[in-house]
Amino acid sequence: MSLIVEKQHDLDRRHFFIDGVWVKPAGDLLRDQVEAATGDVIGVAAMGTEADIDAAVLAARRALDEGPWGKTTAQERAEVLRRFANELNLRSAGTSELVSRENGMPIGLSQMLNGGAPGALLNIYANVIENLALEEVRTSQAGSTIVRREPVGVVGAIAPWNFPQALAMFKIAPALAAGCTVVLKPSPETALDSYVFADAAKAAGLPEGVLNIVLGDRDAGAALVSHPLVDKIAFTGSTAAGRIIGAECGRLIRRCTLELGGKSAAVFLEDGDVNTLLAGLDNASFLNNSQTCTTQSRILIARSRYEEVVEAVGSFAASYNVGNPLDPTVTMGPMATREHLARVMDYIEMAKASSARLVTGGSRPAGADKGWFVEPTVFADVANSDRLAREEVFGPVMALIPFDDDEDAVRMANDSNYGLGGSVWSADEDRALSVARRVRTGTIGLNYYTLDLGAPFGGFKDSGVGRELGPEGINAYLEYKSIYASAKYLSA
């Protein structure tokens, strides 16, 4: 970061979106935004302070308590969400390219998850709120009880850098549908694309203060989490940060949703089909350069098929075309930042120094003197107790581990502090389902792994608290109120 950045860029974002307008930051701290594939500065972004967060929260509070948003019907909100979705869709091509430049995501994937998913989520939650009974009358011993669903209030949404548009909208869409107002604090690593939300919201006619965007670092995030006028925090990020946020929300008796880290297992049974596994590994284990919380970086393999699968997975990993993510023929881009690349390389060097066997990769690609590239890497003969099998690398580094039978596989899959994703690979889908039901994880696939926007997503254990997505995802943004009344309302 730098206090003075002289060069101007077309992508510079030197203001925040607060109360429906672009405002000058309270401070003068600027951050250079670097392209992951080249290491070149492509823009400059202002960094927020506690004062900026305070201004954004006050705007959100006014919009909820005094503005029109708090008085809207479900149908009115659904119409706004659909206009918001349309505006984002109109900007999707530019948004997809910008995110790929920021974090290294292959452009085809970015077009789906940063270009298409945000609008799809807004439309999903427009439909959810239109079809949700926000008030119902129940018979009670004293007459009737009117049960209401009301918005939880002002939501502080803290989004990560790996899927910045989609994961921010995991929070924004259900919050707005429920009638909440939002302060979004994006990750500094993907600062530039976050303001597309502001441009689209303004064009869609979202009332002033309903969506506010302030970029900032951990101090800004801490100010948002602890602000007295925030009613709920929705966070996606590391388990370490989630612990701190969860502790603060507990101290303040504040609602929170935490979608955190993972160390998921792909379980290949002895009757599994290798070609089916290889066809699914791109989503299950290497999605977004493995910078994905559900990455199945532990591949548990039936001992009788072990060497066959080790060889196949190693060859598959070596076949990735590593390069600039804007090239549609590239299948794996760089790590998001120099610092994150260094972290991934530290894990690789640690594994090289252990008893694990390096099957493929393990270095920077030849000639990659610019950008944050690493070879897809596979280690075999890893023990489930090794650090490589216990800790989240958040990069394309796979740990291959043998098991003896189904019971051993379930035990090893569950022998983890995390429980977010997973998969089971077998020619007998009923058998795979039986194994999947015993794995303590929030999501798991049978012979494939693809996230379903229409089903709840979240984790067990250290992988988080609460659920996002699906019709269930709106529940985190609603409060229940019971009004005890006479029997006359039963016939209303």
- Residue 150: active-site member: no
For the beta sheet containing 298-302, the strands, ordered from the edge strand earlier in sequence to the opposite edge, are: 357-360, 377-380, 397-403, 298-302, 265-268, 422-425, 445-446
* Given the residues 259, 375, 392, 468, the one annotated as active site: 259
HSE-CB at 324 with a 13 A cutoff on CA atoms is: 11
Q: For residue 241, which of 158, 306, 325 has the smallest C-alpha distance?
A: 158
Q: Which two tokens stand for residue 274?
A: 């290798």
The catalytic site residues sit at: 259
